[in-house]
Structure formats: structure tokens, C-alpha cells
Amino acid sequence: MNQLVHKVVECKLCLSSQQRMDEQAKQHQHVVSDLQNQLETLKIEKCVANSRSVHSESLNDPCRGSELVTMYRELKTQIWGETKEKMTKLRFEQKQKDRTKELIKEIFEKGKKDVLLKRQEKDRMLKQISGIPNTVQENISPYIQSSMDNLKMFFFLHFQDIKNTSDFKTFVKEEYQCPHEVLHELYVHCYFVSRLMELHDPPIELCWDSPGVDVFPDLLGMNVSH
């Protein structure tokens, strides 16, 4: 009888010890997560500070480099963090989570290709007018040169309109054949931020090949100019 009581007490002590270890592990995870978020914030703030101190920016330009960096930061930390929580609550399978990560990169890569095609089209137009009189070139060239800025403002205003109305579903349905609803806001942000970053002069690049990249990589330096 005494031996049985002793074993029960030992089991309770072991269970209590395990519970304390689990609680400590959770606390450590929170600490690590907080430190990672702080590190990410410092990286972004340093990037923004460098862009402002080394290069002049037009404060009237809503698509200036520092603002785009802030947009990317919001996407990488807030939007992605909220999306991960939703996926966890809905018990997404690992296959679904992996596909989401793949699609994020695909959206950014497609954004880069789309903008590259627009730049090539602009260059072709400039080449086409190279043979006409200089006076005519001077009248036409500014309109062609401004086409990229106009495209950038189109994306920016469209992005703001979707965010203001929270109508992510309509846009995503047209672009991505309507994936799960909890991913809509994430995909909309990826679509527009990728294109706005690529339309910046010079483009704001991402370090996709950096070791340890999970979903959203660091920025490949900032070189903001106007």
C-alpha cells in the first residue's frame, strides 16, 4: 500500500515537473518570437533610415522607397502573422501551408516579370521614335517616360481602394481562382506590394536565395532615388 502511494506521489511530481517544463518552453518560445520581431523591426527601420539619409525622397510621393519598405514590413509581419494564426485555427494541412508559401514567391516573381515586360514595352516605344525629328521626340518622349510612374500610381490607388472596401475576394477570384478566404488579404498585399516595389526606380529587390528564408526574405539593400 505504501509503495503504491509512493508511486502515485512520484507520478504526480513528475507530471507537475513536466507541466512546469512545458510552461517554461512556451515562455521561451514567446521570448524568442519577440526577439525575432524586434530584430526584424530594427532591420526595417535601419533600411528606412538609410534610404532617407542617403537619398532624397519626395514626401508627396505615396510610393516613395521608405513607404514601400513600410508596406513590405506590414506584409511580412502583420498580414502574414494574422494569416498564419487563421490557418492554425482552421487546422490547415501542412500541404496547404507549403502551397501558400510557394504561391507567395510565385506572386512576387510574376510581379517582377510583369513589370519587366512593361519596361521593355516602354523601351521599344522610345526606340520607335528615335528616327523622327528631335522636336517631335521632345514632345512625345515625356509621355512615354512617365508611363511607368502612371502605372505605379494605378497599382497604388487600386490597392488602396481594395483595402478601404475590404473587398479582397473579388480581386483574388479573378487572379487566383479563389483560394481559401483566409488567404485573400495576404494575396492582395503580395500582388500589389510586389509590383510597387518592382516599379520603384531602382527596383527594391528581395534576397530569395538567402539561407534560412522561410516565406518573406530580407530586402536586398535600399537605394532610393528620385
Please report, for the chain, the start and end positions of each structural domain, with discontinuous segments joined by +: 64-226
- State the burial class of residue 172 (Cβ atoms within 10 Å of its Cβ: 0-12, 13-18, 19+): buried
CB 199 within 8 A of CB 159: no
**How confident is the model at residue 197, as a pLDDT?**
96
Identify the band that residue 44 occupies on the pLDDT scale cut at 50, 70 and 90.
Answer: very low
**Tens of pLDDT along 91-112?**
999 999 999 999 899 999 999 9
Taking residue 190's Cβ as centre, other Cβ atoms within 10 Å add up to 23
pLDDT tens for residues 51-81? 444 456 778 889 999 999 999 999 999 999 9
pLDDT digit string (tens) for 183-204?
999 999 999 999 999 999 899 9
What is the model's pLDDT at position 53?
A: 41
Residue of 207, 197, 165 lying closest to 184 (CA atoms): 165
Q: What is the pLDDT, as a whole number, of residue 55?
A: 52
pLDDT attached to residue 71: 95
Q: What is the pLDDT of residue 15?
A: 54
Residue 62 dihedral angles phi and psi, to the nearest 5°: -70, -10
Which pLDDT score, from 0 to 100, does residue 181 have?
A: 86
Q: What number of other Cβ atoms are within 10 A of residue 161's Cβ? A: 11
